[in-house]
Structure 1
Amino acid sequence: MKTFYYILVLSILFISCKDKTQSKTESVEITEQTETPKVTQITAFKGQQVTGISVSNSGRIFVNFPRWRKGVNNAVVEIKNDTISPFPNKAWNSWEIGDEAEENKFVGVQSVVVYDNLIYVLDTRSALFQEVLDAPRIFVFNINTKNLEHTYILNEEAYHPNSYINDLRLDKKNNKIYFTDSGNSGLVILDLKSEKFTRVLDNHSSTEADAKFLTFGTNRFEKQIHSDGIALDTKNDKLYYHALTGYNLHSISTEALNKNNTEAIEKAVTFETKTSAPDGMIMDENGNLYFGDLEHNKINYRKPDGSIHTLVEGDIIKWADTFSIYNGYLYFTNARINEAGEDISNMEFTVNKIALAN
């Protein structure tokens, strides 16, 4: 599998771009901020590539580190002031590449989401971007007791051998959890009552990458990553999603997603607008949709009226990967995926926060 390792691991190998291909995002009209909000760095990890982040109602910060290479110290940690604590304990984080998958150990955590006092840990069960070792799953822990409350395991119909279940959003109104699959394009729905997973929009045009590459200066990021960013509008009962390698934002009503009808679901898909190429997304209580502009070191947001604005830009933004909102601030990680190679031992990956848009 060594060829698979070097081709797919990390999504970060660059090929020099000899032609002058223009970014598709140039056609997107974006309003710049007149004053640049201050970005506050919370912590930094040297040689450990942080991606996911979630902040609890009381301000507790949890982050995760996918196993895209050897040498990952922990899959999930809690940041407490200046200390880092493996969550829920060291044993759960002790799996190493080459080991067999174990029931009570994280393999490849891509996302963490805290809801009330529960943390949902999304384990792709994939390491080095290779095929899944066993079924992807969601471990649910109580953040106070650190006890495992539940494990949801995807049924065979809900994933592919090369799936990379990427991110999730909880819909308590409909007792559902929605997921994106960035490895094999599609969305997955978990019914919390029946605990059954359903796959929808499988290899659909709206979930597939709509660009062949992203452009960073004179370099190309030539990895096609499908449905990735996901955001839930609970006021309007709408789910937004976006491929990472692409510029098309789509949405679908949660009512349509609850229908057990493939044709009806596909007809309900709405193309929203062209945007920059993002990774994660999140919506605030005012209906502003936040997303990154990976190619231009920005974080943008789309207002309910459809206008797109820049929240912040510059070298402080280095592949804004995942977002969380707490107490008027947008928390985010800098994953630096376009910069990282096989050896990241001397690179720093940061956790930051910035005030939400007014």
Structure 2
Amino acid sequence: MMNQAGRKPRNSLGDISVLYVSVLMRAIAEEGHDAAALMGRFGLTSETLTSPDARISIPRFMRLGQAAIELTGNRAIGLTMGELTRPVDAGIAGLAAQCAPTTAGALATLIRYSLLTSRNSRGAASTSGNGEQAHFYSIRPYNVFNYFVVDSVLAAWTRFVRIISGEHRALERVTIEYPSIGLDDAFEAWFACPVQFGARHNQLILAPGVGSLPSRQAQPAMYASLTRQCDEALTRIRGGWTTGDRVRDLLMPLLQGTTPSLDTVATRLGTSPWTLQRQLAEEHTGFRELLDDTRKDLAGDYIRETRNALAEIAWLLGFANPAAFHKAYKRWFGISPGEHRKQFHEEQTRKGIR
């Protein structure tokens, strides 16, 4: 996928605004620890955190979160992040959302414009039921590096709903895909509702009547102005996308556990397979070429930036088995994925980069 300047992002797995890093730093300080030391370890400066356009890769954010857990000893630091999150921490999307007329409308607005502050190859957040159910995409396979991401997102949404509605018990239920880590009581106390682990989806469901409550910060004129600015920003992001860029964007989340077909992608784009093939040919590319290139880009970043097992990466890229992934990786890079990861880590160690 290309960014708004027409260049491939530095990390194909996705990136996130430093606005969210700032929330994590506040959470570390809230736990009584020195956030500055962790910033230095990860090469982050105060100038970085005050740059409105700065982003870091999703894998780096995950490693940063795990380091924060190790530093504070709090495995539920995502909940602390949620408690400290303000609408402005979601950028202009948060400012627009708080001005919406109703609580459900505010939550739906917040999520509708989430691309302005984060982009992930795994998928995109969504709402249903007129904004009364919010869904966070699956990031299977789960490990200690991505538990806190789910926690922080669901907690931030919950905090936002509480601010907008004025109701602390704003939720009917929360469901989380990853298995219980033994903190069920702490999660239920924080969310003030039943929390189900090992569920099919990551989602929160508003309590009956909460979605229709007027937003305590509703402002019709500002809502119209700010959502217009959000729409314009989304248009700028997507405006430079070619058909091939849109195909890549769809392929990334669809790859998990399967190989997407041309028909599937064409349907998602609202066109016919023949028309899609023709449009790609006009751009001097094809579906199979884009599929292979997308897998290659993701594979390189998974090997360098994550600690996922090779079998997990094979699944994430839609290969039938690890052997098929191994064969493709050697074709792409001339080296096995395991040896490539070893060489990369040795190089990072020599440079003093963790």
TM-score (norm 2): 0.28
Q: Structure 1-normalised TM-score?
A: 0.27
Q: Which has the larger radius of gyration?
A: 2
Q: Greater helix percent: which structure?
A: 2
